[in-house]
Structure 1
Amino acid sequence: MAAAAATSSSSTTVEDLPGDVLACALRRLDGPSLAAASCATSGLRALAEDPGTWRALCLARWPSLAAAAAQQQQRCVLSGAVSPRRLFADAFPFPCADDAAPLDGDDRLRLRLPLPGELVSAVDVYHRGAPIASRVVETSTLSSWFLTSPFCVDAVDCKNPAPAASVSPAELELSWIVLDPASGRAVNVSSRRPVALERHWYTGDTLVRYAVVLGGCKFEATVSCSEEAGQLTEVSLAVDDADGAAVSGEGCLRLLAAAMAGPRKGGQNQEQEAKRRYDEFVRRKRGRKESKARREVLVDLCCSAVSAVAVLSFLAAVVLR
């Protein structure tokens, strides 16, 4: 009888717990842990697919979606076309490194992807893990002015800076996710931790830079922190190519569409991978700049040599005449 009781006890699994107890336990997990638990059994998968649980995770991860000023965006992002689980799966991990390959002549998939007609940016700035500024920005992408102008999104109005008293710029973290409400897809376009800190040459503000590399271009978000005034005076996103030229709105839309449709990469080393790709981009950009400078010097020397030969030939012709 004791052996039978031991056998019965050893066959007890976590799914033997009441469903409401399991659901309560799953709600206490973070996103990656909840996704891992849903892969264990069909019963846990059914419990882990609760939209309310994923919606709470999204609102906890990105407070901007719960801001009072973003109620309209929140309804279209977390209900209807965009499910909370899909949003978390798209926006939490970084785009896979395969998406960073430049477009070549044999791969025109990016050109065939439909362009988003509207972008919603959910921007959250954290200090030591606590959110200090949250914004949601809607950007219409249908105008010819947007498509042909350099891509830039400002999340903080210069006339209405966000308070940031007693913060250390090096300890600021940023989350910038871009969503396409029409397709229901999203992508993370910012490293959470800074990749570079600089001092503005004129204002003296600290510029904290966050970046990811997509399609051979650098998505760089800049947080300008005025330590004297205790304010975040700028939170903006811009895109540069490998030559340092600004990418147009249409080019950026194609990069975002490809990244939204591509795979994602999770794991513990997301930040290190983002920093490595940024450093590699900076080295490649510096190498291209130096190579261009050498070519320009070589062209100048050739032009000078040709000019000198032409002058000497003219002088010789005059003397020997």
Structure 2
Amino acid sequence: MSMSSSSSIHTTPSAIDHGGGTPITAIHQDIIQSHILNRLDGRTLASTRCASSQLLSLSNDDYLWKDICNSTWLSTTDPRVADAISAFSTGHRSFYSDAFPAVGRHCQSKKTIQQLVLDLDTSELISAVDIYFDGELIYSKVLVTETLSAWFLNTPFRVELLDTKETVATPLNIGSEGFAYISQVEERLRVSWILIDPVKKRAINVASQKAVEARRHWLTEDAQLRYATVVAAGGDGGLVQCGIVVTCGGNYGGEVRVREVIMQVEDMEGKIMTGMDSLRILVAAMEGRRLRRDSKIEKDSYEMFLKMKARCRERKQRREKGLDVVFVATGISIFFGIMIFFSKVLVTETLSAWFLNTPFRVELLDTKETVATPLNIGSEGFAYISQVEERLRVSWILIDPVKKRAINVASQKAVEARRHWLTEDAQLRYATVVAAGGDGGLVQCGIVVTCGGNYGGEVRVREVIMQVEDMEGKIMTGMDSLRILVAAMEGRRLRRDSKIEKDSYEMFLKMKARCRERKQRREKGLDVVFVATGISIFFGIMIFFLSRLRSYYLG
């Protein structure tokens, strides 16, 4: 290697070796970079950056960190992963500082999680997965998960690494000891599952350093290993575990094969969380603090999660035992509420052909019936709309007496308030967004309340309508609405949060706008097809008649 260089080396007072040895600054930077720094691992290279300003500059070389990332995780050599890492603030060094340390169990602040809104710009998550046995790589793969579809947002978040009937061989054989191989797999198998957000330019390794749990499946008798990271769910959601479940098995005398690798996010009730909730938690974890990896701490965190999960299950059982008392108290409260405040009960017959095949629309008030409010329209004019939005609340509970289930389709607060373009009345919408099922996307069960009055007079509720609307803006028929509402009654319940309800409605409006744009593009394309078809038919007819005329005159 040539030692000639036009740059001079400056010795700083902090770099002087008072022991009489050769200071580090006396060594040429090419030698340091090509013969010393490229032999260090990630931890040592990060520590070297703190030694001097010269080493800090040399250690920031992205090629050094790229080699470390590629040697640590082979999946980072995939072009999709490499392109995502290149967009990070400091390239591979930023990626390594995100992916190598463990994730802190607690977020930076509750406010950070509670104010975190699902970012629709996060269009995909990249999974870079590597599996090791005795430190040797046996499998590597990159998966891309699309995160904007209604199917992803409203179904349990579950990513399967291996294809159907695909398995991964290991050097371990099942001997005469039988199930004793499970402890060997637990000790020797390692998994790395790095999730990358290419939009936010952050990454997180959701797999623990070692398996936090190993057990035998009760039915197949395969080994099931769990590599889990416990993180905060945000708000009052407690903890969740981002778990990698690896299933291994084989025949007697044969080799142990990895048969299934699944990544999922599970709450303290044991439920697999939806894509929307999982994405919110994972994005918050990416933004959170990092800790030094310690397999014992990770296992202790998982055992603490299991204890809290058991307590949650006990509380749920006690709560279910006390439901009878709650139902009685609720019934008494509803009775007195009816006596004191305005309330109304409607019964809708759902078996007629008229109900099943016409738009589902339930009107609460009779013709010319209005409801007075304590609010007056003053000199501010339309400023009363904001007051109505803040002070008016609606509860619309649908009850299925056959299935013995109920659902409140009104949001806690108005998710939208606007002035009607013709009557200039206030229109407030109390909407709940639910899944339509299948590939139907999302629908909103909306309560539209119309309020108005004369100048100087009181504000009166003039119209209250409940209807179910799809992403194309159409009021759904009774049959489709009944199917969606019954499915929603059977679904899981969440803690009421007006901000989350409003965010869900705004997400629905964005998806509705995209659906409208796609429809417009499709209609424009159909117009072109129809015009081209018409022209083709016209010229075809003209050619036909001209050929007949030609044959007629020419005999």
Common topology (TM > 0.5):
yes
- SS in structure 2 of the partner of residue 99 of structure 1: coil
Kindly indicate whether residue 147 of structure 2 is the aligned counterpart of residue 136 of structure 1: no
Which of residues 245, 249, 259 in structure 2 aligns to 1:222?
245
What residue is the counterpart of 2:379 in the other structure?
none
* Partner in structure 2 of residue 79 of structure 1: 86
Q: Which letter maps to 1:22?
A: I
Q: Does 1:255 align with 2:275?
A: no
- In structure 2, the gaps of 5 or more residues are 1-16, 174-183, 233-238, 328-555
- Equivalent of 1:14 in 10, 13, 24: 24
1:38 to 1:8, Cα distance in 2 relative to 1, 3 A: closer
Which string of whole-angstrom CA distances, capped at 9 and with x for unpartnered residues, describes residues 147-202 of structure 1?
A: 11111111111322222241632121111110011222101111020011111222
Is 1:39 the counterpart of 2:50? The answer is yes
After superposition, the C-alpha distances for 1:240-284 in whole angstroms (9 at most, x for unaligned) are 111111111011111111111122112xx5322222211111100
Secondary structure of the residue that 2:315 maps to in structure 1? helix
1:238 aligns with 2:264: yes
Identity %: 33
Aligned ranges 1:80-119 → 2 under 5 Å:
80-81=87-88, 83-99=91-107, 108-111=114-117, 116-119=122-125
Aligned to 2:56, the other structure's residue is in SS state: helix
The one-letter code matched in structure 2 to 1:27 is N
How far is the alpha carbon of 1:288 from its aligned partner? 1.1
Partner of 1:152: 158
Opposite residue 285 of structure 1, the aligned amino acid is K
1:200 is aligned to 217
Q: SS in structure 2 opposite 1:110?
A: coil
Report if the CA contact (8 A) 1:154-1:236 is conserved: yes
Q: CA deviation at 1:115?
A: 6.0
Offset at residue 25 of structure 1 (A): 0.6
Inter-CA distance 33–246: structure 2 relative to 1 (3 Å threshold): same
Q: Closer, same or farther in 2 for the Cα pair 1:271/1:114, shift >3 Å?
A: farther
1:91-136 Cα offsets, whole Å, 9 max, x none, are 00012232298x57x9623237666211111111111111111111
> What's 1:311 paired with?
none
Question: In the alignment, what sits opposite 1:275?
Answer: 299
SS of equivalent to 1:187: strand
Instruction: Give, in angstroms, the shift of residue 10 of structure 1.
Output: 1.6
Distance 2:143 2:65 in 1: 22
SS in 1 for 2:76: helix
Relative to structure 1, the CA distance from residue 162 to residue 264 in structure 2 (aligned partners, 3 Å threshold; closer, same or farther) is same
| 1:19-73: CA deviation from partner (whole Å, max 9, x where unpaired) | 122112111111111111111111001110111110010011111223xxx3x31
Q: Which residue of 2 aligns with 1:306?
A: none
Conservation of the 8 A alpha-carbon contact between 2:131 and 2:140:
yes
1:295-314 equivalences in 2 (<5 Å): 295-299=319-323
**Given that residues 245 and 262 in structure 2 are in contact (C-alpha distance below 8 angstroms), is that contact kept between their aligned partners in structure 1?**
yes
- The CA RMSD measured in Å over matched residues stands at 2.5
Q: Which runs of 5+ in 1 are unaligned?
A: 1-6, 304-321
Q: Residue 226 of structure 2 aligns with which residue?
A: 209
Classify the secondary structure of the residue corresponding to 2:163: coil
How far off is 1:296 after superposition?
Answer: 2.9
SS at match of 2:58: helix
Is residue 113–residue 258 contact of structure 1 (8 Å, CA) maintained in 2?
no
Q: Which moved more, 1:47-56 or 1:154-163?
A: 154-163
SS in 1 for 2:230: strand
Using a 3 Å threshold, how does the CA distance of structure 1 residues 287 and 100 change in structure 2: closer, same or farther?
farther
| 1:187-240 deviation digits (Å, cap 9, x = unpaired) | 111102001111122222111111011222111101111132532111110111
Cross-structure match for 2:364: none
Amino acid at match of 1:148: N
Q: Choose between structure 1 and 2: higher helix proportion.
A: 1
Task: Name 2:506's counterpart in structure 1.
Answer: none
Partner amino acid for 1:206?
A: A
Q: Secondary structure at the match of 2:117?
A: helix
Task: Give the direction of change, closer, same or farther, for the CA distance of 1:79–1:298 in structure 2 (3 Å limit).
Answer: closer
The partner residue of 1:63 within 67, 70, 74 is 74
Quickly say closer, same or farther: Cα 1:113–1:38, change in 2 above 3 A: farther
Q: Tell me the TM-score normalised to structure 1 length.
A: 0.82
Q: Which has the higher contact order (CA 8 A, sep 6+)?
A: 1
